[in-house]
Amino acid sequence: MNSNVKIRQTEVLSDNWYTLRKVTYDYLTKEGTWQTQSREAYDRGNGATILLYNQEQKTVILTRQFRLPTFVNGNPTGMLIEACAGLLDKDNAEDCIKRETEEETGYQVSDVRKIFEAYMSPGSVTEILYFFVAEYAKDMKVNEGGGVAHEQENIEVLELPLDEALHMIKTGEIKDAKTIMLLQYAKLENLLA
């Protein structure tokens, strides 16, 4: 525990979709004085994401779906191209990403490899994201994917050459941070070499 931080008060501002809390705390500065600060933290749970890749075809599987926050922030269509991802809920990260992969992409993968974990927006969101990669093949396709109805998901599955996906970062067609990180990892680690 960090002895330089003392929580004074935690107030729930919203508990609608996820939980937004206002936390007031004392922070010991490097000068040795205590400073009272107040911040809001959005708790949506932790998540996992995966890049599916096919070495023979030199392709990756991505998804496209509507994301309201991007729409209200100026994305004219609200559509975002992303790597498959989901919240852990009560699963561990590996079980979660296997479930999400099948729900979203229709591929059933068993051999997933965790490559790292990262906080995606640590100034305001508590979520830590677990990053995975896995090889896929046509015979692993067990359904059409697209998400699950009760979660109101409407996901399009995309199969793209890795080089095309990397170019889409340059053109701005891919703006999702987790996806950019996974694609760059694939390039740096020569996953499709």
Checking 121-124 for CB contacts under 8 A at 24+ apart, the result is: 124/39, 124/40, 124/41, 124/42
- The 10 Å Cβ neighbour count of residue 103 is 18
The answer to whether the annotation marks 153 as part of a ligand binding site is yes
Six-digit token pair at 161? 């050459």
Strands (DSSP E) contained in 15-149 are 19-28, 34-43, 47-54, 59-66, 79-82, 84-87, 113-119, 128-135
**How many CA atoms lie less than 13 Å away from 106 in the CB half-sphere?**
16
Distance CA 166, CA 159 (A): 13
The answer to whether the annotation marks 31 as part of a ligand binding site is no
The answer to whether the annotation marks 11 as part of a ligand binding site is no
Distance CA 129, CA 117 (A): 6
The answer to whether the annotation marks 100 as part of a ligand binding site is yes
List, as residue ranges, the binding site: 85, 100, 104, 153
List, as residue ranges, the binding site for Mg(2+): 85, 100, 104, 153
